[in-house]
Structure 1
Amino acid sequence: MLWTSTLLPPEVQAGLSASEWPAMPEPPALLPSPSPLDAEAVLLIDVRSYAEFMAGHVAGARSLPLPRLADDIVHLAPDPDQPIALYCASGHRAEQALGLLQRLGYQAACNAGTPVLLARRLGRALESGL
């Protein structure tokens, strides 16, 4: 086994094909109930680095890396009541971004998890480049 294979998920290490992988859990609702997710009204913000964004992002998402979020969010969402879905590679940076936005008064923001899960939930494609 190569040392790099230890970095791969157990399903890949075991040699399972993608169709044999265990089902991924559904992400939590993106916005508080009872209002359903309106995919057109939600501002999708990718808080990963610009290079990660360019490698693949949810269609319609905007790149706003976590280190720039506090300074630049007012340009993308001047209304603090704007529904915002934050995502990143694992959900960790999105959770940090969520805490920051809540401290800035953005109460309709949520951690939407990863790009793959969010794209699947919204029925959107993943795009690379601009």
Structure 2
Amino acid sequence: MVSPSGLRLLATDVTQSALYLHATRDGAILRDLDAEGAVPPYGTGGGRVHWDFDGAFAAEDTVVAGTSGSDAGRGAPRHWLVAGGDMTLPGEVTYPFPVTGPVRGTGTWYIAEDVDPPVAPGGRRLTGTWRNRNTERPAGRS
């Protein structure tokens, strides 16, 4: 997935073990985030944690990435906020309604103002409410 400015690209490897932030100009890897070191395992069942191939830049320095593939069979899919500037994992995205599957890059994303802890780089708060096209909402609601 490409950042809103077009200057950065986020990708994973074929084993989905890490997210890699690349410069689009030359393809250089700027930073990476290993799933095993950043994402807690789902419950006590063990199993390897890995990133999904799908994700989305919610803002230039904020990514939403998922571990729904490694979460399968253990419970609801998990989506994570990734601070794109330093490739850290500020926390898990929670939803007020059920979601299914991985994060979709073509969805619309909003960020709740009362996110705790603040997830935007530099501690600034973002406004709105998280949602994506995988949400199971009643007809007529946006």
TM-score interval, normalised by the smaller of the two chains: under 0.3
TM-score for both structures, normalised by structure 1: 0.23
Structure possessing the higher relative contact order (Cα contacts under 8 Å, 6 or more residues apart): 1
Question: Larger % of strand: which?
Answer: 2
